[in-house]
Structure 1
């Protein structure tokens, strides 16, 4: 019996991670393989592969969306490894297992490359950015929920009183301030883990401290912090600085101190001074100008921007185009610009829910497998995971993607017009009830119209597409 081990992860650690893991396990077991899958999701590492499982495995599959550190890869030294983006794995697990031997390359821990797929996953800038986002998510989610609870308590008449004269602060005040810490550390954590993704652990502390400095106007004497721009710039530059610094050979005597002493100290010294005198003030000025521009965009242009963002979010359902729009909206949270992330809250839940509803309304237009997947797609879609819409799009790409994109664009434009704001990631359509999206009524208007339009477009476009397919089949 052939044995396969796999590792799956994705930027958010919510949908792709577990869907691909389940698909690999199910398909592998059907073929008579012994399969063990380690998931690196939002809950941390689960079902961690043991040394014995790895040693006995004939193949290793790495389906990654946020990359993997060199330290983590060392487990698979001398194993036959197939590495590919997690989004590609989700599209066709049977094909992946059909061609394992052809695609596998022996991995050597001393080397970096495993082939073209691995190159794209590990060295792509987007994968490093997503590693930073993945690390920052728990901070902003936890902080956002505490802020929402604190706000709800205040609305119900509870006091919001700071500590004074030896008295403790009120519960609402504590929740709001602890929650705000999540937003305070969100950007430094993002910068730190971008650097960590590139340069490993020696880059973590210097990137965290310099990004925190760049986002401290009181320390820099600037009007605004560097925001996500500072996190991206410092994370990437420090990451690559450390990556190449590690290649310097300083002799056996001091080599053992490189990782925990010399590299962090030298990197922090150089980039700390650069951040204080140059990078921080300049990035803060750029960030202030960007926020000013975003706030002063005419309404007509905001509608166009909302439409474009909505189209991007719905287009590839968790792919790179979706992630680019998501990252833009998410990154502005630390600067208290919430409308672009409001579009994310509206649009991302729509495609899978619309696909499910369409199967219930016109079951004859969908396969048995699509009908059986409709309820899980609907429920998972409600929690801001667009990925369950992917199987429907793969079965009929032109009509489904067109329907999703057009409806997403309209919903995005409506969200911007109605001023929907989302202060933190949450649990999808229930976010307004938690105080994470407001005004709640405007959110449900934009979401409801977008959902209805998406269902209508699916039935219309796919109906025409199927009719054309039947005519072509008949000659």
Structure 2
């Protein structure tokens, strides 16, 4: 297989470089090339050197992103697309053979940003320490770069950086460190050192007990596991309902047999009907593994049918999970009868207890609470709507993908299933503002941002319009006490305006792109004004808070 080496300026973790590497990966795989990525402090910032046995090409990153195919043509014509016997190598792994081989798994609730940021940080950290590392990413489209039995067998240590459930039984007997994605992004080398210092885990265990484990197994992680599994149902259902309204108008679901009616059956009567049961089921699954899934699904279905909504689903999920986990430990059976426990005893007893609790204890009061919340939100006008928008918007920017951000998002998504769409609009508008605001500020006020931050503005803006709030994290990490207050101010403004104008959004993800769908958003002009106003507020606050960079520093950058 022909090898091509791409040398980038160091460091290679800023967005333009990542886009260039991704473009090279895709094109190299098509042409049957083996790709090695190398960092060098000798390479001029912004330039890329491509080398093979018979060619040496120099270009810049924007041109490489735009015209990867043309640039690679002299090195390997497009006809060389036959060799697919070898899998693509991990692009960030060291070229030289390392004295340690590490493996990892990353996952986050939405599987969009933190999953890949954590993987990239781990690979880069391992390379800086002279180790080779392969990371399996469990993102929104499934597992990528999956670990093989051979990878696991030869691994010196395993790092699982996940905010959602990841099964670790396959790593039994290995040095296993379990933590969250933020810890991996923050200090990847520290985690690698900690993992290598561990003792191998027991053959039957799922890892060593350590402080990081507590973060990963708390209620937040279980809740986010439920969110990650129910989110596709809400997105698909919301889009289908919006399409039904676009085709058949406000009464699309009334005339049986029409296309609008069919779309309402698929989106509203089916996808949305599964939302709460799946939410509850996977909360329970996260707590008790497979035995928790059955009582969780049943409890969630009861919550939905009793009118307890997503709050009832949360209660059912946690009750099913913790009760089933306790029951599993409490019931001791001889080996001859052990097979009855997972298929008969646990599902029967746990479903009975959870079901009765939902019908007689939890369902009625939670239904009353949900009815009260729904009535309050539907009647909300004026200052009350502004305050709720301010609160939800500020929460979205406070930790950009962390627990507070996810709490606001989960609250809004849960209300979508009860036909309350205003908070969802406010949350999405607020979530787009941080990346857009910092990108605009770095474009307008170059003397307040580093050269790398200025180069990343286009990629950051794209993340912003796609409702990936995490695009602003690199700016916030570099200057948190100035950037975070600015983003909170802008997001709170966007959320407040969205609620004040009465915008309602039926689709809980997708950013600006879902606005092209008829009837997906109401009061679209006011909604766009909310996003623009929030972006301008963030940009303005950054102008006043961010200090000018000394000329010498700018030149050095």
User: TM > 0.5 between the two?
Assistant: yes
Structure-1 residue corresponding to 2:530: 446
Tell me which residue corresponds to 2:3: none
Gap change, CA 1:295 and 1:147, over 3 Å in 2 = closer
- Which residue does the alignment assign to 2:19? none
Structure 2: distance between partners of 1:407 and 1:129? 28
CA distance in 2 between counterparts of 1:132 and 1:292 reads: 26
Within 5 Å, which residues of 2 pair with 1:366-405? 366-405=449-488
What is the match of residue 140 of structure 1?
234
Partner SS for 1:49: coil
Corresponding residue of 2:316: 234
Q: Render the CA deviation track for 1:360-389: whole Å, top value 9, x for unaligned.
A: 222232223322322222212221111121
Provide the rounded CA distance (Å) in 1 between the counterparts of 2:387 and 2:431: 18
1:166 maps to none
Cα distance in 2 between the residues matched to 1:418 and 1:233: 33
Structure number having the greater helix percentage: 1
Q: What is the root-mean-square deviation in Å for CA atoms of aligned residues?
A: 2.2
Instruction: Work out the CA distance in 2 between the residues paired with 1:3 and 1:241.
Output: 40
Tell me what 2:135 maps to: 37
Q: Secondary structure at the match of 2:376?
A: helix
Which residue pairs with 1:421 in the alignment?
504
In 2, Cα distance between equivalents of 1:97 and 1:372: 30
Q: Deviations over 1:106-133 (max 9, x none)?
A: 33343665301111112x1111011001
The one-character-per-residue Cα deviations of 1:296-315 (angstroms, maximum 9, x if unpaired) are 44532221221121111111
The 2-side partners of 1:419 and 1:335 are apart by 17
**CA distance in structure 2 between the aligned counterparts of 1:403 and 1:301, rounded to whole angstroms:** 23
Distance (whole Å) between structure 2 residues aligned to residue 147 and residue 349 of structure 1:
23
Stretch moving more, 441-450 or 335-344: 335-344
Matches within 5 A, 1:86-105: 86-97=181-192, 100-102=195-197, 104=198
CA distance in 1, matches of 2:471, 2:457: 9
Deviations 1:436-468 (A, max 9, x none): 33221121010010011111111221137x68x
**Could you say if the C-alpha distance between residues 198 and 159 of structure 1 is closer, same or farther in structure 2, counting changes exceeding 3 Å?**
closer
- Structure 2: how far apart are the matches of 1:195 and 1:159? 36
Alignment of 1:462-473 (within 5 A): 462-463=546-547
Larger deviation: 145-154 or 47-56? Answer: 145-154
Shift of 1:56: 0.9
| Alpha carbons 1:214, 1:281 under 8 Å: kept | no
Task: Kindly indicate whether the alpha-carbon contact (under 8 Å) linking 1:187 and 1:211 is maintained by their aligned counterparts in 2.
Answer: yes
Q: Which residue of 1 aligns with 2:401?
A: 318
Give the Å deviation of 1:91. 2.9
Correspondent of 1:115 among 210, 221, 233: 210
| CA distance 1:49–1:112, shift in 2 (3 Å) | closer
Q: Report SS of the residue matched to 1:421.
A: coil
Q: Deviations over 1:22-59 (max 9, x none)?
A: 33234434544322111111112222211110111112
How far off its partner does 1:334 sit? 1.2
- Rounded to whole Å, the distance in 2 between the matches of 1:442 and 1:401 is 25
Q: More displaced, 21-30 or 125-134? A: 21-30
CA contact (8 A) 2:280 2:313 kept: yes
Task: Structure 2: state its 5+ residue gaps.
Answer: 1-97
Q: Are 2:377 and 1:294 equivalent residues in the alignment?
A: yes
Is 1:76 aligned to residue 171 of structure 2?
yes
TM-score, normalised by the number of residues in structure 2? 0.76
What SS is found at the alignment partner of 2:508? coil
Question: Secondary structure of the residue that 2:547 maps to in structure 1?
Answer: helix
CA contact (8 A) 2:129 2:189 kept: no
Q: Which residue of the partner structure matches residue 221 of structure 1?
A: none
Kindly state the Cα deviation for residue 294 of structure 1 after the two structures are TM-superposed: 2.8
Asked whether the equivalents of residues 432 and 464 of structure 2 are also in contact (C-alpha less than 8 Å), the reply is: yes
d(CA) in 2 for partners of 1:170 and 1:337?
Answer: 26
Out of 244, 251, 268, which is 2:326 matched to?
Answer: 244
The number of residues matched between the two structures is 449
Q: For the residues of structure 1 that align with 2:193 and 2:354, how far apart are their CA atoms? A: 48
Shift of 1:194: 0.4
Q: Distance in 2 between matches of 1:114 and 1:420?
A: 47
Alignment counterpart, residue 280 of structure 2, candidates 183, 191, 196 = 191
What TM-score do the two structures reach when normalised by structure 1?
Answer: 0.89
Q: Structure 1: how far apart are the matches of 2:190 and 2:447?
A: 27
Determine the C-alpha separation between the residues in 2 that align with 1:159 and 1:195.
36
Larger radius of gyration: 2
How far off is 1:198 after superposition? 0.4
- Hey, what does 1:174 align to over in structure 2? 262
Unaligned residue ranges in structure 1 (runs of 5+): 164-168, 218-224, 471-475
What is the aligned partner in structure 2 of residue 7 from structure 1? 105
Deviation of the 1:195 alpha carbon: 0.5
Q: 1:406 aligns with which of 486, 489, 492?
A: 489
Partner-residue secondary structure (3-state), 2:276:
helix
Higher relative contact order (CA 8 A, sep 6+): 1
Q: Tell me the equivalent position of 1:55.
A: 153
Which residue does 1:437 correspond to in 2? Answer: 521
SS in structure 2 of the partner of residue 463 of structure 1: coil
Q: In structure 2, how many angstroms separate the alpha carbons of the residues matched to 1:324 and 1:82?
A: 27
- After TM superposition, the structure 1 stretch with the greater mean CA deviation from structure 2, 287-296 or 3-12, is 287-296
Match of 2:165 among 61, 67, 82: 67
CA contact (8 A) 1:203 1:239 kept: yes
